[in-house]
Amino acid sequence: MSAAMLCRLVIRDFVIVDHLELEFGPGFGALTGETGAGKSILVDALSLALGERADAAVVRAGAERADVAAEFAVTPESDLAAWLAANDFDADSCLLRRVVDSAGRSRAYINGAAATLGQLREVADFLADIHGQNAHHSLLRTEAQRALLDAHAGVLAQVREVAAAWNLWRDARAARQAAERDVEATARERELLQWQVKELAELAFSNDGWQADEQEHRRLGNANVLLEGAATALMVLDEGEAPALPALQHAGARLTELTGFDPALTDAAQLFESALIQLEESALALRRYQERLELDPARLAELDNRIQAVTQMARKHRVAPEELPDLLQRLQVRLEALLLSTDPEALAERERQAEAAYRAVAQPLSNARRKTAASLSAAVTAGMQELAMAGGRFEIVLPPLPGGSAHGLENVEFQVTANTGQPLRPLAKVASGGELSRIGLALQVIASQSNPAGTLIFDEVDVGIGGRVAEIVGRMLRELGKSRQVLCVTHLPQVAAQADWQWSIAKATRAGATVSSVSVLDRESRIGEIARMLGGEKITETTRRHAAEMLGLK
């Protein structure tokens, strides 16, 4: 059995479900019940847990929030376990939970930890694949046909790679065409950029140099004041009529002598000496500063011109001076692009390289599609014979697209003929409602065999068939259930009778509100439920015998 079998589903206050806790088993299970009882609500609840869009309408009337939790088995070393570990979730289990409040806001959790909706949808690929009631009709669209083929071929990563390569080729082609169309405008812009880049490059501006220039300019611009201040300090210390340093030196020497008479003066003498040393050092530093600092009008004028040039350049381009290096880099990048855009040969070569890269990834995709199209066509054709379409034939045609597209080098078209000797025609033009249901079901069942999801859910996909065909469909689903967990919402007794287990969904009025309930059916209960599906409300002994016979045919 698959590594991702659905084990448990807990639903609270979802649509007409107040509280359900369901334990799921392996194999093929059928969900039956009267129309409107809420069979598909279980599928909708599971879809919500798997990342479907939330809506306030799912909250049961009178409740504050809807809460759905789905637990799946996890096999160690499986792709599911690896995904959980890679995304920092506990890899021993897989419990998805979704809470939607009455305002439509939703929260998502994986193994009790908050998760994004994108993460729910990613992990859902390992867990369950749901085929809805309108799946047959979606097969009439080209996009759905291509998606089904690609999923069955397992080439979805290649499809994304081809789309990315196509975009690069398209952009290269558009660049060449734009250059050919806008030659004059490009030339004018190129000339302007060349002049601007030349101006900025000649300015040779750097932020470190700018800071150094500003600092030197401030110093030279205030040289007179700085020299005057230094001279005044020196006059007070050592060069005036009554300098302080000699008097302080004398006082310090006297204090040192006095410590011989009273050691208590030692601390004061040492502090005095330390301060004196600092003042002497200060006097020396002031003399060196006076010798180094000179009035330099020529250098000051040079810095004035430099600062003015930088300021004018920044104002011209409407940026701060510090932003000029980034501006130069941006203009150079744009200029390089324009120089390339005026080089037709370079543009054409880039386009050729992009096309070659596209075809290099598109061709393997085409090969994989052709191989899978042949095998899937044969399998669906065989399925049609079983589903009362003897002589019918299904074929996946891949009309080539020499110019390519974002989807590859070919279109994908499902063609069918319902009778021997009739030509193949597109599915949308020839299939009746019943034929479309049967072909679509065959496609889904066969394609599901290669689906990585462990749980396959079919929600009333058997609409439009009956009788012997329904019995065959049931057998197909039962066979699929040998390797996967299969859940099927059905109204056909022939399908339900083939299931390994069966639940009955009913609705009732409780405290003035409509609620759904689920009953697990034993063999005797299944006979009664299948008899109801066969004969409606009035069940006779004959109907019950017929139901028992159907169950005995498994």
Q: What is the sign of the dihedral through the CA atoms of 481, 487, 492 and 497? A: positive
Per-residue pLDDT at 531 exceeds 80: yes
C-alpha dist (Å) from residue 334 to 35, 187, 225, 274, 348: 66, 13, 48, 64, 19
Are the beta carbons of 297 and 223 closer than 8 angstroms? no
Would you say residue 549 lies in a domain?
Answer: no
Per DSSP, what are the bridge partners of residue 459? 489
Would you say residue 479 lies in a domain?
Answer: no
Would you say residue 266 lies in a domain?
Answer: yes
Would you say residue 485 lies in a domain?
Answer: no
pLDDT digits (tens, 9 = 90+) for 183-227: 666 677 778 888 988 888 888 888 877 787 777 667 665 555 665
Number of domains forming the structure of the chain: 1
Per-residue pLDDT at 31 exceeds 70: yes
**What three-state secondary structure class fits 522?**
coil
State the average pLDDT over residues 423-445: 75
The CA-based diameter of the chain, rounded to the nearest angstrom, is 137
Query: Which pLDDT score, from 0 to 100, does residue 421 have?
Result: 80
CA–CA distance, 365 with 159 (Å, rounded to integer): 7
The DSSP symbol for 239 reads I
* φ/ψ bin of 408: left (φ > 0), alpha (ψ from -120 to 50), beta (otherwise): left
CA–CA distance, 127 with 124 (Å, rounded to integer): 5
Query: Which pLDDT score, from 0 to 100, does residue 70 have?
Result: 95
**What three-state secondary structure class fits 280?**
helix
State the average pLDDT over residues 245-272: 85
Say which residue, 249 or 89, is predicted with more confidence: 89
State the average pLDDT over residues 287-295: 67
Query: Which pLDDT score, from 0 to 100, does residue 1 have?
Result: 40
Q: For residue 455, which of 40, 2, 64 has the smallest C-alpha distance?
A: 2
User: Which runs of consecutive H residues, i.e. helices, occur in 293-320?
Assistant: 297-316
Query: Which pLDDT score, from 0 to 100, does residue 418 have?
Result: 78
CA–CA distance, 420 with 106 (Å, rounded to integer): 53
248: containing domain: 189-340
Would you say residue 332 lies in a domain?
Answer: yes
Q: How many CA within 13 A on the CB side of residue 109? A: 14
Would you say residue 367 lies in a domain?
Answer: no
Query: Which pLDDT score, from 0 to 100, does residue 2 have?
Result: 44
pLDDT digits (tens, 9 = 90+) for 103-143: 999 999 999 999 999 999 989 888 888 877 655 666 778 88
Residue 114 sits at φ, ψ, to 5 deg, of: -60, 140
* φ/ψ bin of 262: left (φ > 0), alpha (ψ from -120 to 50), beta (otherwise): beta
Say which residue, 359 or 434, is predicted with more confidence: 359
CA–CA distance, 278 with 239 (Å, rounded to integer): 17
Burial class of residue 39 in the structure, from the number of CB atoms within 10 Å of its CB (0-12 exposed, 13-18 middle, 19+ buried)? buried
Would you say residue 213 lies in a domain?
Answer: yes
Q: How many CA within 13 A on the CB side of residue 122? A: 15
Strands 455-459 and 17-23: unpaired
Query: Which pLDDT score, from 0 to 100, does residue 216 have?
Result: 66
Per DSSP, what are the bridge partners of residue 551? none
Per-residue pLDDT at 240 exceeds 50: yes
Per-residue pLDDT at 297 exceeds 70: no
C-alpha dist (Å) from residue 175 to 30, 180, 341, 346, 348: 58, 9, 7, 11, 9
Query: Which pLDDT score, from 0 to 100, does residue 63 have?
Result: 92
Structural tokens at position 463: 């609409």
Residue 475 sits at φ, ψ, to 5 deg, of: -65, -40
Would you say residue 28 lies in a domain?
Answer: no
pLDDT above 90 coverage of the chain, percent? 31
Burial class of residue 455 in the structure, from the number of CB atoms within 10 Å of its CB (0-12 exposed, 13-18 middle, 19+ buried)? buried
- pTM beyond 0.85: the answer is no
